[in-house]
Structure 1
C-alpha cells in the first residue's frame, strides 16, 4: 500500500482547519444573536446510528447521511430560518454541494414560509448568504451550476463591530 503524497495531506489538513474555523465563526455569530435576544439558531446534530452497545454508555456507531440543513432556528417574531453551510478553499463552489435530500428539505420548508439560505464560505475569509431560491436556480442566475466570489458579491455578509457575521441583517 503506497503512502499519500505529503503535499496533498497538508493541503487536506489546511482545508479541514479552514472549514472548522468557518463553522466556529458561524457558531459565534449565532451566539451573538442569541445573547441579544434576536434569534435562537442552533446546529443540527449529525444523525448517528448505534450498531453495537458496549455497555457503560459506550457504543459503536456510524454517521448516517444527513438530510437536514446545518443550522435552523427562530427569529424574534416567530419566523423560521435555515442555513446550509458550505466552505471551499478553491475559487468556485458547485451547486451540487447541497445534496438532493437537503434540497428537498429546504424546498419544503421554504414553501411553508421559512427563510432558507446557503452560507458560502471561501478561503478568502468572506462569507456569502445566498437565498435558497437563488442557489436552487443557480443556472438561471449565473449561467452555470457553480459560483465564484465575484458572482456572490451582492450576498456578502457584513461584520458587526465585534467581527460577528451579521447573518440575519
Structure 2
C-alpha cells in the first residue's frame, strides 16, 4: 500500500497538514519567536536602566543567572550543551542605597492583558518570601515595548480579589505606569528605601 493513498499522510507516512494548518503552524512559531525576542529586548532595556541607577549610586541590581549544568565539554568556539538544573527564579535581584533588597520579575506581552499565570510557582514563592521579609518586590510589565508598569507584589498577589479575575488590563495597570525617558526606564522611582513593617502572618497567594 502506498502512503500516497492514505488521507492526511504524505509519501513517507508522516502527517501531511492542510495548507491552512501549515500556515497556522508557521505563524504560531513566528509569533512565539517574536515574543521571545521582545521579552529579551525588554530585559536588556531594564538592564541598561539599572546600570543608569548604579552610576547614580541609587541601586545595584543584576539579572539573575540561570543555573545550568554542562552536558559536554565546550567546543573550539567555547560553545557547549547544557541543561537547567533549577526552576527559574525572579529575573532581577539587588540592593537599594541604604540596604533594602529589591527583587522583581519582568514580563512582556503583545496582547491586551497580562496574566497572573505567567509566573511559575517557584517565582511566586520566591517573591512572596522576599516581600514578607521586607524586600521591594514587584513585577515589571511591558505592553508591546511601548507601555511599562511596575506592579507591587501585594497587588499582583491579590489580583483575583482586587479585580475579580486573574489578569490585569492596561486600564487596571495605569496607576502603576513607569515613565521611559531618554532611554531610561524610571522603574525605581517611588520605591521606598526603608522596608515597611514585616508581615507577621505571611502573604496569601491567589487561589
TM-score, length-normalised on structure 2?
A: 0.74
Offset of 1:35 from its aligned partner? 1.0
Distance 1:37 1:120, change over 3 A: same
1:13-162 aligned at under 5 Å gives the runs: 13-53=33-73, 59-123=80-144, 125-160=146-181, 162=182
Distance 1:58 1:18, change over 3 A: closer
Matched with 2:186 is 166
Distance 1:165 1:50, change over 3 A: same
Q: Provide the rounded CA distance (Å) in 2 between the counterparts of 1:78 and 1:59.
A: 38
Distance 1:149 1:124, change over 3 A: farther
Q: Provide the rounded CA distance (Å) in 2 between the counterparts of 1:60 and 1:124.
A: 31
**Larger gyration radius, structure 1 or structure 2:** 2
**Between Structure 1 and Structure 2, which shows a larger proportion of strand residues?**
1
Q: Provide the rounded CA distance (Å) in 2 between the counterparts of 1:141 and 1:64.
A: 36
1:101 match: secondary structure:
helix
1:97-130 Cα deviation digits (max 9, x unpaired): 1111111111111111101001111115111100
Number of equivalenced pairs: 168
Q: Any gaps of 5 or more consecutive residues in structure 2? A: 1-13, 17-21, 190-207
Greater mean alpha carbon deviation, residues 42-51 or residues 11-20: 11-20
Note the aligned Cα RMSD (angstroms).
2.1
Do the aligned residues in 2 keep the contact of 1:83 with 1:119 (CA within 8 Å)?
yes
Do the aligned residues in 2 keep the contact of 1:67 with 1:105 (CA within 8 Å)?
no
